[in-house]
Amino acid sequence: MEFQVRLLGGKRSLAGMPGLIPDAGPSWETALLLPVPAAESAVSRHRARLDAAARDGVPAHITVLYPFVPPAGTSEPLLVSLGRLFAGFAAFEFTLDRVGWFGEEVVWLGPRDPAPFSDLTSAAFTAFPCCPPYGGQHAEAIPHLTIGHVGGLQALGAAAESVRPSLPIAATAAEVILMAGPRPGTPGTPPGQWRTVAAFPLG
């Protein structure tokens, strides 16, 4: 099974590794994300101010499964399993064509067809039933790309209106990445602590 592993400073072989995330602290988490580089030009400056994940080093993305396994649970067999899982899904084109809100707290972009993203989440949760989407806090996991969730309603609304002329955004779902970093909101955390551990190409 073809998959790529990137650990901290670069690509390495898994052989002989004492741990895939050796410097993970007690507050660290992992996440499976589908990066959307095509959206960066529209959302990056807004995310930098309004999305804590951007400060932490997380790219524009649609979440597949978060929170995922604890960092201590990452291993070569886990990566092989994820590689096989996501290789079973064909890469696909999609379009972000709408602005949505969760209440007045979170503004986001939504895909025209959410089904392929829901299928990825469903498959990942089926394979890892100990990791319900968003910890089981929501009855439904709605595929979305967060523009912002901090800064207040006025700032979020202004960001939404600024992004709207860039729609629709055509993009390609090419891979799912495993990222790890400190739990959002952990006091004293410096910026840019989240990093990519592995990338899993879609088939």
- Residue 17: predicted pLDDT: 43
Domain that includes residue 83, residue range: 26-201
pLDDT tens string 3-34: 544 443 444 544 444 457 777 888 899 999 99
Please check the confidence at residue 187 and state whether its pLDDT lies above 90. no
Residue 8 maps to a domain: no
The whole-angstrom separation of Cα 169 and Cα 27 is: 35
Helix (H) or strand (E) holding 41: helix 40-50
196 in Cβ contact with 175 (< 8 Å): no
Mean pLDDT in residue range 181-187: 83
The reported pLDDT for the residue numbered 3 is 53
- pTM across the whole model: 0.91
10 domain residue, yes or no? no
| Distance in angstroms (rounded) separating the CA atoms of residues 124 and 137 | 17
Q: What is the mean pLDDT of residues 75-91?
A: 93
Q: Does residue 155 lie within any of the structural domains? A: yes
Nearest by Cα to 162 from 105, 106, 83, 99: 99
The total of structural domains in the chain comes to 1
Does 12 map to a domain? no
In a domain, 13, yes or no: no
Residue 146: CATH number of its domain: 3.90.1140.10
